[in-house]
Amino acid sequence: MKTTKIRYFVKTIAILLLTLLALTSCSEKQDKPIFKVLSPSIADTLVINAKAWTGNPNQPWVETIAIKGSRIIATGGKDLETEFNASKTIDAEGKLVLPGFIDNHVHFMEGAATLLNIDTQSVKTKQAFISKIKDYALSIPEGEWITGGIWDHEAWGGELPHRDWIDQYTQNNPVFLTRTDGHMGIANSLALEMSGINKDTPDTEGGLIVRDANGVPTGILKDNALMLVTEKMPQPSEAQNSRLFDAAIAHALINGVTQVHNVDERERQWSNIAIFEKAKAEGRLKIRVYYIPHISNRHRLAEQIKAQGKGDQWLRFGGVKQLVDGSLGSTTAWFYQPYADAPETSGFPLMPIEELESTIAEAHALGLQLVIHGIGDRTNDEILRIFEELDVKGSRPRIEHAQHLSPAAIKRFAPLGVIPSMHPYHAIDDGRWAEKRIGSERIKTTYAFNSLLDAGATLSFGSDWYVAPLSPIAGIYAAVTRRTLDGKNPNGWIPEEKITVEQAIRAYTLNNAFSGFQENHLGSIEVDKLADLVILSDNIFAIDPQEIINTKVTLTMVGGDVMYSK
């Protein structure tokens, strides 16, 4: 009897100690307990009647999700509803629930500018492009820059715009509008004059000033030459930046985007970090952000991380971005062979390869994730070579776009631990005209989603917004159907590279969490993970793939809070 009493006493003390540990061992910063709460009957929110794809192979589908604070505390069937008392219940009404979408590559503030400034993205003819600029110029004060619009000359047959098209309507307003890929822009004569660009201005390294037969600039600038104008443009005020930022946040939530990886293309964009920090301090940062500055800021970022850490689950740091070549649409992507429709060029690197090697090596030595832009086949091979020589396996290096790959390159990603960070909407956009650029043979390994998965690579997806729509639904549709925007490929452009709905969703959720070192907190609907969820109007697993594009987001939740509801 005495022994039994001693055992009971020891057991009681152990339970009390475990209870005390549970109450005191929670990380306030991340809201994640070391083990499950001892009173699981208490929850803040219950999501019921769901058809929830979890991303967890051990429990792929659930009907009920219990949330406390910012994290998921239980998942299961309908019977789970009776086990919890929750202050709020969300009835999913049998709709598809997914982990919150993560977009692996956006240009956030530039995308914001397209929401509130001139819209030239939708125009399909030369005359419509001219009329849009003419009408907009009449609506703004003299001297104000016309920016923010993007255009695609392929929409009207491939003729590049010329400053003569718009000069007569914009004599008092400088104009600079970039092509949809961000690697080419059109400036009017006033903007060229204000930027000091004339017949005698030399081309920049890694850039090109397009000229007419007399050597006079046409207004078209490519890649690094864009900076000749952008460096002269006035920067938005703090109030304007706040307005743009809030518009972009709202746009992201409507599209079910709960986190973005924001990538900077230029050194001076480092100042944009303050916009995100201000929004966070004011409670206006309603999605998560992995901020990836330009690689020229590598030492500055390393010092910041050393002093302040990598941030928290709302605003994080840890990687750097580098452009290596341009784009297919601007004929500045770097290939082994010349362009089929521009045989005088095969594209070019934006910096000497020796400088690229040393820059990437420095960033890697500083412990920063390498996020490197690669479009042409030669560019991708060069990046893979540099990664292999540096032995970066384990640090999750990424090739952004990984767009045109040599057959041998496809098999190198997985063994080297390199993540192909790809943007599927580009496939149904570029697919309209890519073959005339590079011919029928090279397009076979363009946006090679399925081949990369078959080779064991961790496929990661995003939009490249502003270049493409900030819509994971559109991206999933593109990856699954590969139906080009012109309707000319109803069975898919390079159909062997189509993937399944589940593979595409995983690339927008768990794989993207992995590519940002967050797989323990995000990307799936599992206990202890952050409660980032979306509810869709249609079950995209069950409907005709062609109808996926019509699916809407009806609810977006970030950290247990409903941030958007339709």
The domain spanning residue 119 has which CATH number? 3.10.310.70
User: For residues 530 and 509, is the Cβ–Cβ distance under 8 A?
Assistant: no
Residue 381 inside a domain? The answer is no
What integer pLDDT is reported at residue 121 of this predicted model?
A: 78
The whole-angstrom separation of Cα 459 and Cα 310 is 24
How confident is the prediction along the chain (566 residues), in pLDDT tens digits per residue?
A: 444 344 444 444 444 444 444 444 433 333 433 334 445 579 999 999 999 999 999 999 999 999 999 999 999 999 999 999 899 999 999 999 999 999 999 999 999 988 988 888 788 899 999 999 999 999 989 998 988 778 888 888 889 999 999 999 999 999 999 888 788 899 999 999 999 999 999 998 888 999 999 999 999 999 889 889 988 888 888 999 999 999 999 999 999 999 999 999 989 899 999 999 999 999 999 999 999 999 999 999 999 999 999 999 999 999 999 999 999 998 999 999 999 999 999 999 999 999 999 999 999 999 999 999 999 999 999 999 999 999 999 999 999 999 999 999 999 999 999 999 999 999 999 999 999 999 999 999 999 999 999 999 999 999 999 999 999 999 999 999 999 999 999 999 999 999 999 999 999 999 999 999 999 999 999 999 999 999 999 999 999 999 999 999 999 999 999 999 99
Beta bridge partners of 64: 76
- Assigned domain for 191 exists: yes
Amino acid identity for residue 555 in this structure:
L
What predicted TM-score, i.e. pTM, was given to this entire model? 0.85
Q: Which two structure tokens, joined as six digits, stand for 160?
A: 């590049």
| Residue at 203 is within a domain | yes
Domain count, the chain: 1
DSSP code for 225:
G
CA distance 389 to 482: 35
Residue written as token pair 């050597």: 215
- Which amino acid would we find at residue 250? A
The pLDDT value given to residue 2: 41
Assigned domain for 215 exists: yes
Residue whose entry in the numeric block shows the structure tokens 């929401």 = 115
The reply to whether 154 falls in a domain is yes
Structure tokens at 46: 């219950």
Query: What is the pLDDT, as a whole number, of residue 21?
Result: 44
Task: Say how far apart CA 532 and CA 288 lie, in whole Å.
Answer: 10
Within 10 angstroms of residue 13's Cβ, the number of other Cβ atoms is 10
Farthest CA pair distance, the chain = 107
Give the pLDDT score at 230: 87
Residue type (1 letter), 516: G
Tell me, yes or no, whether 171 lies in a domain: yes
Q: Note down the domain range covering 189.
A: 110-230
**Domain assignment of residue 222, yes or no:** yes
Confidence at residue 40, expressed as pLDDT on a 0 to 100 scale: 52
Helices (H) and strands (E) in the chain, counts: 19, 24
Sign (positive or negative) of CA dihedral 373, 374, 375, 378 = positive
Look at residue 179 and tell me if it is in a domain.
yes
3-state class percentages of the chain: helix first, strand second, coil last, to nearest 5: 40, 20, 40
Q: Which residues contact 13 (CB under 8 A, 6 or more apart)?
A: none
Q: Report d(CA 276, CA 287) in Å as an integer.
A: 11
Dihedral of CA atoms 365, 371, 374, 375 in degrees, nearest 10, equals -170
Q: What is the pLDDT of residue 16?
A: 44
Any alpha helices (H) in 332-489, and if so which ranges?
353-365, 377-390, 407-410, 413-416, 425-430, 434-442, 449-454, 472-481
